[in-house]
Chain A
Amino acid sequence: MNGQVEVSICYGTLCFVMGGSEFEMIQDQLPSDIRHLVLVKGMNCPGYCNSQENGKPPFVTINGKLIGQANLQKVISGIMGELANGTDK
């Protein structure tokens, strides 16, 4: 069941330079047992960086939920959280 969790990475230059480059390796870093459940996409800058309320870059959304100052570990635990929620239902 591909795409149970949708991860969108901001490909804007600001997010990329401020740490987002690490997400280029996300497919290799995902635990192999959940890799097939995650759909990783890129997005053009949606402008999250324009509002301080959103926190600091880089920005990633997981099933539409915004994560600021994202890094690989944060995103992987976010995905795990979504997967756990999904099986509760």
Chain B
Amino acid sequence: MAQTNNATLIRREIITRLCRLFAEGRLEDIDRIALAMAPRNAQTNGSRCCIHKARAIIKYRIMALLGFNVADETDELESLYSYALRALAGTDRGEGVLTVVGEACTSCVKSNYVVSNLCRGCLASNCMVSCPKNAIVMENGQAKIDSLKCVGCGLCKEACPYHAIIYVPIPCEESCPVKAISQNSEGIEQIDYTKCIHCGRCMMACPFGAIMYKSHLISILHQMMKADKPVVAMLAPAVCGQFRASYGQLVTALGKLGFADIFEVAQGAELTARHEAEELGHVLATGQQFMATSCCPAWVELTEKHLTQLKPFVSETWTPMRYTAGLVRDKYPDAVVVFIGPCVAKQAEALKYPGVDYVMTFEELGSLMIARGIDLQVFEVEEQGAVIPERQFAASSGVLNSVAAYYSGEQIKPLVISGLHKKNMAVLRRLATGKHDWNMIEVMACEGGCLSGPGGVSSPDVARKLFNAQSGVHTEMLVQ
């Protein structure tokens, strides 16, 4: 989910500055962004030790915005301008979609269990006695946990009669549904890309904003400037909850930004819903117990990398993005196709299948509008004509409702999985055992659906409210 906090606002300010430099043809000044944002003698906001650290972090944030994996840095003195030129030349920008800004990672705690100063250093020392790894010693009258020995079992916490041992979470690790992020020997988090499903939950969880997605923005701006091919935007339906604007106003804005044409991804979603309804009828008729939706790329990757026993149950129907890309190619065979949405995992999906060239987030779209001085409020509001009902794909339950609208067959017994948090991961693991009577399962990695995606502008509550007011479709959560 997009949250409005200092970490997201700083990211948006950096994106805006980058877009502005590009528009003004002053990309060579890119290394000055850090100096402008953290000027000499300025106070840091307290969470960073000094402006030099703050500048270093801004530099690596820009490196990620230029599309590079921060972990791939080989020469610390390589300038951002050099990275920018390499990005424009189309060099390989490393693996993964998410990247850890090591400088910003404060390496939270080495062990999840910490002895607080409430410890009385008691005679019984139940913590020491209960520890299976001999990880606790008494030092200066208080217990101390050796993080190298601690395995995080939590028995000491249970054993302490003073409740002096507390559990301290590591937010990114805690939020990752697939244990793909962990500390290296220096205590800095690193992502295992063989496990990562690109859901973006770690990025939203990190209070220091230390995890970023590798952006395609510079390549998109470059393509628009070159103007040798039409750059066509595909706008995901979640957009209706992201700005204070009608769909028509957004289309006007995208035209002004330089997109040659704008396609609504809800068009592709209609095709997805129709095909998926047909597939569901077929699959259930042949005796398969259930089918799961295929539109959320993080969920599909979860079944490819982890819950492989569920993969055969995932629908083979294309995602709305792929269908829409097909519609774009029919009209503009040589187009540069840009998907604009709230999703980080769509980047990985775009790499897997041909048809979509770049992925842009709503946050980047918002920052680009700021940089180009575009104010949605001044555009005329057109009368809302017929609305594609599949706009509801953006919200949890929306895909199920859409599929049900085209489906005829035995009764649908739906299960809606909204968000890949711990509880839902446990539900998904149990699914494959077959001991349930659901026959259609909708899975979205983000709580509440794409409206709460990591690349959004508005927080989930705001996004839902605006979506219900502006999209022309109303979303009701199905009972879970």
Which residues of A approach B to under 8 Å, CB–CB? 11-14, 16-19, 21-22, 24-25, 44-45, 71
Known contacts A11-B244, A25-B461, A25-B465: does B9 contact A18 (CB below 8 Å)? yes
Query: Which residue of B245, B375, B457 contacts A45 across the interface (Cβ within 8 Å)?
Result: B375
Known contacts A22-B4, A25-B462: does B369 contact A17 (CB below 8 Å)? yes
Contacts of A25 in B (CB 8 A): 461-462, 465
Contacts of A22 in B (CB 8 A): 4, 459, 462
Contacts of A21 in B (CB 8 A): 4, 244, 457-459, 462
Contacts of B243 in A (CB 8 A): 13, 16-17
Cβ of B366 under 8 Å from chain A: yes
Give the CA-CA distance A68 to B461 in the complex, in Å: 23
Cβ of B377 under 8 Å from chain A: yes
Cβ contacts A to B, 5 pairs, < 8 Å = A14-B370, A18-B13, A18-B370, A21-B458, A24-B466
Contact in complex: A18, B12 (CB < 8 Å): yes
Give the CA-CA distance A71 to B366 in the complex, in Å: 19
Which residues of B approach A to under 8 Å, CB–CB? 4, 9, 12-13, 243-245, 363, 366-367, 369-370, 374-378, 457-459, 461-462, 465-466
Contact in complex: B461, A13 (CB < 8 Å): no
Query: Which residue of B13, B375, B458, B462 contacts A12 across the interface (Cβ within 8 Å)?
Result: B375
| Minimum-distance CB pairs A-B, first 3 | A17-B366, A21-B458, A24-B462
Contacts of B377 in A (CB 8 A): 11-13, 44-45
Known contacts A13-B366, A18-B12: does B244 contact A44 (CB below 8 Å)? no
Contacts of A13 in B (CB 8 A): 243, 245, 366, 369-370, 374-377
Contacts of B466 in A (CB 8 A): 24
Please give the distance in Å from B463's CB to the nearest CB on chain A: 8
Contact in complex: B375, A19 (CB < 8 Å): no
Nearest residue (CB) in B for A45 is B375
Find the residue from A11, A16, A24, A25 having the highest chain B CB count within 10 A: A16
Contacts of B374 in A (CB 8 A): 13
Contacts of A44 in B (CB 8 A): 375, 377-378
Would you call the interface of chain B mostly helix, strand, loop, or mixed?
A: helix
Contacts of A18 in B (CB 8 A): 9, 12-13, 370
Query: Which residue of B9, B244, B461 contacts A16 across the interface (Cβ within 8 Å)?
Result: B244
Nearest residue (CB) in A for B458 is A21
Nearest residue (CB) in A for B457 is A17
Contacts of A45 in B (CB 8 A): 375, 377
Give the CA-CA distance A25 to B458 in the complex, in Å: 11
Give the CA-CA distance A73 to B102 in the complex, in Å: 32
Query: Which residue of A12, A17, A24, A71 contacts B12 across the interface (Cβ within 8 Å)?
Result: A17
Q: A13-B366, A13-B370 are in contact. List 7 more A-B contacts (CB 8 A).
A: A11-B244, A16-B457, A17-B243, A17-B366, A19-B9, A25-B461, A45-B375
Contacts of A17 in B (CB 8 A): 12, 243, 363, 366-367, 369-370, 457
Contacts of B366 in A (CB 8 A): 13, 16-17
Contacts of A71 in B (CB 8 A): 4
Give the CA-CA distance A60 to B153 in the complex, in Å: 49
Give the CA-CA distance A2 to B245 in the complex, in Å: 28
Give the CA-CA distance A17 to B2 in the complex, in Å: 11
Nearest residue (CB) in A for B363 is A17
Contacts of B367 in A (CB 8 A): 17
Please give the distance in Å from A44's CB to the nearest CB on chain B: 5
Contact in complex: B370, A24 (CB < 8 Å): no
Please give the distance in Å from A5's CB to the nearest CB on chain B: 22
Nearest residue (CB) in B for A43 is B377
Give the CA-CA distance A23 to B260 in the complex, in Å: 33
Please give the distance in Å from B244's CB to the nearest CB on chain A: 6
Contact in complex: A24, B458 (CB < 8 Å): yes
Give the CA-CA distance A13 to B376 in the complex, in Å: 6
Contacts of B12 in A (CB 8 A): 17-18
Contact in complex: A14, B375 (CB < 8 Å): yes
Nearest residue (CB) in A for B5 is A19
Give the CA-CA distance A25 to B369 in the complex, in Å: 23
Give the CA-CA distance A45 to B377 in the complex, in Å: 8
Give the CA-CA distance A80 to B84 in the complex, in Å: 49
Contacts of A16 in B (CB 8 A): 243-244, 366, 457
Give the CA-CA distance A17 to B336 in the complex, in Å: 26
Contacts of B369 in A (CB 8 A): 13, 17
Contacts of B461 in A (CB 8 A): 25
Please give the distance in Å from A68's CB to the nearest CB on chain B: 13
Give the CA-CA distance A19 to B459 in the complex, in Å: 10
Nearest residue (CB) in B for A19 is B4
Find the residue from B244, B245, B366, B459 having the highest chain A CB count within 10 A: B244
Please give the distance in Å from A49's CB to the nearest CB on chain B: 9
Contacts of B363 in A (CB 8 A): 17
Please give the distance in Å from B5's CB to the nearest CB on chain A: 9
Give the CA-CA distance A18 to B11 in the complex, in Å: 10
Contacts of B244 in A (CB 8 A): 11, 16, 21, 24
Give the CA-CA distance A16 to B374 in the complex, in Å: 12
Nearest residue (CB) in A for B8 is A19
Give the CA-CA distance A25 to B244 in the complex, in Å: 13
